[in-house]
């Protein structure tokens, strides 16, 4: 089979798996698990084969036009370069892990068939985005992901948090998608085609008339999908979904799509210096803000969610300095360790029966209960904090190195200002990232207090996946930084001395400071008893998690934070803690800026409709009714009255006729 055929099969197999899963979900429950795992696994194998075939050489392009579509043709096109091949491998890999993990995590869930089918569809859509060589086809995958995320985040739709979160995820990403769509049309109009290769060719020839406008419009869609400031607010709330879904969304699929999209069309963005600066500012604000917020969260998954936003900030930062190699490198390593983090967090939540770090910090010996999760999560957190030699170190150094490279003004692609912004924000974030990673680790695994509850061994499908993911988290960066440039644009991805020292130093400082703060506050743990655990510790992980999410707000007063004085993050952030826990009140600000005006407008419209428009309508009905009442009074029932009126009318008519006839 040719590479093209194989590449077509990669997104097609999970799609067929999803269709079959949905069709057979009720009639043949025995086939659901194989139908969920095997197509994804096959897609992974095919993606690897495609990557090997492609080998980082010349991009594979194939296109067929189904039907003429007017002035701007839409084609079913494949465009597989090194980025696409590797990202597809990552997507298929993480999706396979998630599917295997889910068989254990949701083993008793009655809605598992539809869940698995939606995950497969999600995977298929992401693979379509990755391989697509046509912007319209890419958009199809992009939007299918949006609707799948809506369903998957709302998987526990019995809880109000999940319902609200799924709606929010859908609406916020759609808010970005509208300008994105307009941007795509503008781009295609300027370039004369939706084909990525032709668009890039047009850009190279300077054929774009409105590069800044297009770039900013596209940026809005990317900010929505990749959860960048200011459209990131859906992501922390999306934690109301099951943990494997979080892993899938955060590691490989949805949020990666935005970064991947910019990486694909980087020349379009490079054509506008303003867009690059905006991108840099966006990345910097996202990075630093999300790291601060992560330090204050109490829900273990919300910590990871904010860390995802921060790491995506690194990727967009790398794109802002026009190094897409670094961005995709970080995307790959982040995909591995973030999937691991989420899946391990799922194991922890199942084991402890709570998603609250405050409650976990009051449990002793949790690491003995879940040794697999403990070791793999330690690896992943080290990767997240960018400690050498874990993979996160190399990819983050690639980003920082690229930024440092731009600050020196060695490139014509990105403005130096963008470089400085990304570099400074990246270093600050490195410190904060290490701090919250340390805090998470300390609170979760170094708790003191009662013995952690023993719910027996975790399902083997869940623990094996953790170790499978631990391998790339540990070693991907070190092995790959020399070989990846061949797949990418050829730029050097190796760590430079300056940024390595600065970044690692910042991370170490963050970790040590947090440890010191923790030593300082941990004594308080015993004095302030806290903790709420799920009511059904024997249920499957999905049920435990749903109960934990639903009980967090009643137990602690908020979904995001807990009033725990033993939290080192509280000490470190000081007065900022309250604001950071609430995501810097961005939701409240949006509520004040957009939601309330819209609601007020709706109320106004309702008022106008009910009181003004309806008054006329009612008046139109009332007047005839009054007339009817008046006329009804003539209905006396007295025949003589009727005859009088009849004859009077006759006389009048007769006189009128006579007058007319005589010409008077």
Instruction: Return the number of the residue (408 or 630) whose C-beta is nearest other proteins.
Output: 630
CB of 624 to other proteins, least distance (A): 16
Instruction: Return the number of the residue (460 or 648) whose C-beta is nearest other proteins.
Output: 648
Q: How far apart are CA 638 and CA 428, in angstroms?
A: 97
Q: How far apart are CA 381 and CA 389, in angstroms?
A: 12
| Angle (CA) 401 91 429, round 5° | 35
- Provide the binding-site residues for other proteins, judged by CB under 8 A: 632-633, 635-641, 643-644, 647-648, 651, 654-655, 658
CB of 663 to other proteins, least distance (A): 13
Q: How far apart are CA 276 and CA 246, in angstroms?
A: 29
| Angle (CA) 347 348 349, round 5° | 95
Nearest to 225 by CA among 163, 321, 148: 148
CB of 655 to other proteins, least distance (A): 5
Structure tokens of 22? 């949905």
Instruction: Return the number of the residue (523 or 647) whose C-beta is nearest other proteins.
Output: 647
Pairing type for strands 363-364 and 450-451 reads parallel
CB of 657 to other proteins, least distance (A): 10
Q: How far apart are CA 291 and CA 229, in angstroms?
A: 12
DSSP 242: -
Q: How far apart are CA 569 and CA 303, in angstroms?
A: 12
Q: How far apart are CA 192 and CA 47, in angstroms?
A: 31
CB of 653 to other proteins, least distance (A): 10
Distances (CA, A) of 513 to 93, 331, 429, 432: 36, 28, 14, 10
Instruction: Return the number of the residue (408 or 661) whose C-beta is nearest other proteins.
Output: 661
CB of 632 to other proteins, least distance (A): 5
Instruction: Return the number of the residue (27 or 638) whose C-beta is nearest other proteins.
Output: 638
CB of 661 to other proteins, least distance (A): 10
DSSP 299: B
CB of 637 to other proteins, least distance (A): 3
CB of 621 to other proteins, least distance (A): 19
CB of 645 to other proteins, least distance (A): 8
Instruction: Return the number of the residue (67 or 638) whose C-beta is nearest other proteins.
Output: 638
User: What are residue 364's phi and psi, to 5 degrees?
Assistant: -95, 150
Instruction: Return the number of the residue (608 or 657) whose C-beta is nearest other proteins.
Output: 657
Instruction: Return the number of the residue (620 or 639) whose C-beta is nearest other proteins.
Output: 639
CB of 620 to other proteins, least distance (A): 23
Nearest to 312 by CA among 339, 342, 282: 282
Instruction: Return the number of the residue (588 or 654) whose C-beta is nearest other proteins.
Output: 654
Asked if 337 contacts 97 with a C-beta cutoff of 8 angstroms, the reply is no
Is residue 207 helix, strand or coil? coil
Q: How far apart are CA 276 and CA 422, in angstroms?
A: 11
User: What are residue 169's phi and psi, to 5 degrees?
Assistant: -60, -45
Q: How far apart are CA 90 and CA 519, in angstroms?
A: 39
Instruction: Return the number of the residue (1 or 659) whose C-beta is nearest other proteins.
Output: 659
Pairing type for strands 60-64 and 76-80 reads antiparallel
The residues that bridge with 64 in the sheet, in sequence order, are: 76
Nearest to 403 by CA among 434, 427, 383: 427
Instruction: Return the number of the residue (27 or 640) whose C-beta is nearest other proteins.
Output: 640
């Amino acid at each position: 089979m040719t590479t093209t055929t194989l590449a077509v099969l990669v997104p097609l197999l999970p799609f067929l798996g999803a269709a079959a899963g949905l069709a057979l979900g009720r009639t043949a429950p025995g086939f659901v698990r194989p139908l969920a795992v095997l197509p994804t696994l096959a897609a992974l194998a095919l993606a690897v084969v495609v990557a090997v075939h492609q080998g980082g050489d010349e991009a594979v392009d194939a296109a067929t036009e189904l039907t003429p579509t007017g002035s701007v043709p839409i084609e079913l096109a494949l465009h597989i370069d090194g980025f696409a091949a590797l990202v597809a491998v990552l997507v298929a890999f993480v999706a396979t892990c998630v599917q295997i993990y889910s068989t254990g995590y949701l083993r008793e869930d009655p809605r598992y068939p539809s869940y698995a089918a939606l995950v497969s569809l999600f995977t298929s859509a992401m693979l379509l985005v990755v391989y697509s060589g046509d912007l319209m086809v890419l958009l199809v995958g992009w939007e299918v992901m949006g609707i799948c995320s809506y369903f998957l985040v709302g998987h526990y739709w019995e809880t109000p948090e999940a319902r609200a979160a799924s709606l929010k995820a859908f609406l916020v990403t759609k808010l970005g998608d509208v300008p994105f769509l307009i941007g795509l049309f503008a781009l295609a109009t300027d370039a004369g085609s939706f084909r990525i290769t032709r668009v890039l060719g047009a850009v190279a020839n300077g054929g774009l008339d409105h590069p800044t406008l297009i770039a900013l419009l596209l940026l809005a869609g990317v900010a929505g999908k990749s959860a960048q400031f200011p459209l990131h607010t859906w992501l922390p709330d999306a934690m109301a979904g099951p943990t494997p879904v979080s892993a899938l969304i955060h590691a490989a699929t949805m949020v990666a799509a935005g970064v991947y999209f910019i990486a694909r069309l980087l020349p379009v963005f490079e054509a506008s210096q303003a867009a690059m600066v905006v991108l840099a500012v966006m990345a910097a604000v996202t990075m630093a803000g999300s790291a601060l917020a992560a330090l204050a969260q109490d829900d273990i998954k919300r910590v990871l969610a904010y860390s995802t936003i921060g790491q995506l900030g690194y990727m967009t930062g790398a794109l802002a300095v026009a190094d897409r190699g670094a961005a995709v490198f970080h995307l790959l390593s982040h995909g591995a360790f973030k999937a691991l983090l989420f899946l391990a967090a799922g194991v922890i939540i199942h084991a402890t029966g709570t998603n609250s770090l405050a409650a976990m910090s009051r449990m002793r010996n949790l690491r003995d209960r879940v040794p697999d999760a403990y070791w793999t999560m330690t690896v992943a957190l080290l990767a997240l904090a960018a400690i050498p030699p874990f993979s996160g170190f190399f990819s983050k150094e690639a980003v920082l190195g690229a930024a440092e490279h731009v600050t020196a003004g060695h490139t014509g692609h990105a403005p130096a200002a963008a470089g400085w912004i990304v570099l400074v924000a990246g270093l600050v974030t490195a410190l904060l990232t290490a701090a919250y990673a340390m805090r998470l680790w300390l609170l979760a695994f170094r708790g003191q207090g009662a013995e952690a509850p023993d719910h027996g061994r975790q399902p083997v499908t869940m623990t094996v996946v953790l170790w499978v993911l631990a391998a790339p988290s540990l070693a991907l960066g070190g092995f790959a930084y020399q070989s990846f440039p061949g797949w990418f644009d050829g730029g050097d991805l190796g760590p430079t001395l300056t940024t390595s020292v600065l970044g690692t130093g910042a991370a170490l400082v963050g970790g040590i400071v947090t440890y010191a703060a923790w030593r300082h506050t941990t004594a308080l743990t015993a004095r302030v008893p806290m903790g709420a655990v799920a009511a059904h510790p024997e249920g499957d992980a999905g049920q435990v998690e749903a109960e934990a999410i639903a009980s967090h707000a009643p137990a602690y007063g908020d979904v995001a934070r807990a009033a725990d004085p033993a939290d080192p993050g509280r000490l470190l952030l000081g007065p900022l803690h309250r604001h950071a826990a609430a995501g810097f009140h961005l939701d409240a600000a949006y509520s004040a800026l957009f939601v309330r005006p819209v609601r007020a407008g709706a109320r106004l419209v309702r008022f106008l409709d009910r009181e003004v428009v309806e008054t006329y309508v009612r008046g139109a009905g009332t007047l005839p009714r009054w007339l009817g009442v008046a006329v009804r009074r003539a209905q006396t029932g007295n025949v003589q009255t009727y005859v009088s009126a009849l004859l009077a009318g006759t006389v009048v008519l007769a006189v009128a006729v006579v007058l007319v006839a005589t010409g008077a």
